[in-house]
Amino acid sequence: MILKSDSPLDLRLTITSGQLFHWSEDKGLFKIVQDGTVLYARQTEPCEIDIEQAGKEMGSSELTDLFSLKRRRKLVLEKLEKDRLLGELIPAYRGLTIMRQHPYECLISFMASAMSNIPRIMRNLRDLRAQAGTRITGTEERSFPSPEQIVELDERGLRRIGLGYRAKFISATCTLLAKECIQLSDWSDKDTPELTDGLIGFPGVGRKIAECVALFSFGRWDAFPVDVWVKRALSTLNPKLRGMSADDLCEWGKERWGSSAGLAQQILFCAARDGRISR
């Protein structure tokens, strides 16, 4: 299946931008595992991605949604380009978009990311899938385990994977999800503050993770997760922000960029990580 975008869409930039953990690459072919599906995606043109899949088939509208192709990204970028802090960074990240992941998988994945680093996070999550997930037919991959499967694995199993102190939180959150039969997708009707407050209700989930889940799985482009990279980027670009707490910077970012805050955040994160914002 061919996915077409009305503006440049950089598959590599998007997949490797730190928003998604369940992927691997072989010579430009990206394999993405999510929600019982394995996607094999390749960039064919600047605005075009070729996708094949195995397991639970996604329809074209679901794939369009996954890559946020219905969003007016061009308008968002035009707005950010006029911003004094971000303007010069935009050309390098024009093809970057925000994907829309499965909410539950996104939540647990970002819980696993706390005080970690990307290679380790991806390894932990790959091991978690391998040990507790269900085989996806037609592939060697296993899906992300359900809350029940993680509860069964137990905190000890999660610790053996190397999740450390995160194991207790992940186990407790999955116990809650299973016992209360909570479907996070039912939370789509909530406005963003209500949604993030609800997510913060889970053990081990604070402001940062809640904003990530709102942005990366509920399509809330008004969310603004602040991690150490974004914090560093902001204090370099605007010294007045130095010393502000992550929570205050979160408010500041939402205030400044509104419905474009999420993409602004992702650009700041990538630029800081890529060394484009000199310290």
| Contacts with DNA, residue ranges (CB under 7 A) | 17-19, 110, 113-121, 123, 159, 162, 164-165, 169, 200, 203-210, 212, 225, 227-229, 245, 269
Q: Which residue has the tokens 């730190």?
A: 18
Minimum CB separation from DNA for residue 279, in Å? 11
Count of CB atoms within 10 A of residue 161's CB?
Answer: 21
Neighbouring-strand partners of residue 23 = 32
Closest approach, Cβ 116 to DNA, in A, equals 6
Tokens 């600047």 correspond to 46
Give the residue carrying structure tokens 């408010």: 251
Comparing CB distances to DNA, the nearer of 67 and 216 is 216
Q: Comparing C-alpha atoms, which of 66, 59, 69 is closest to residue 8?
A: 69
Task: Choose between 53 and 131: whose C-beta lies nearer to DNA.
Answer: 131
Which of 183-187's residues contact partners 24+ apart within 8 Å by CB, and which partners? 184/103, 184/104, 184/107, 184/217, 185/103, 187/103, 187/218
Nearest distance from residue 54's CB to DNA, in Å? Answer: 25
Q: How far is the CB of 133 from DNA (least distance, A)?
A: 20
- Which of residues 136 and 205 has its CB atom nearest to DNA in the complex? 205
101 and 125 Cβ atoms separated by less than 8 Å: no
* Closer of 136 and 268 to DNA (Cβ): 268
**Least distance between DNA and beta carbon 81 (Å):** 23
Altogether, the residues listed in the chain come to a count of: 279
Backbone angles phi, psi at 234, to 5 degrees: -65, -40
CB 18 within 8 A of CB 270: yes
- Residue closer to DNA, measured from CB, 121 or 150: 121
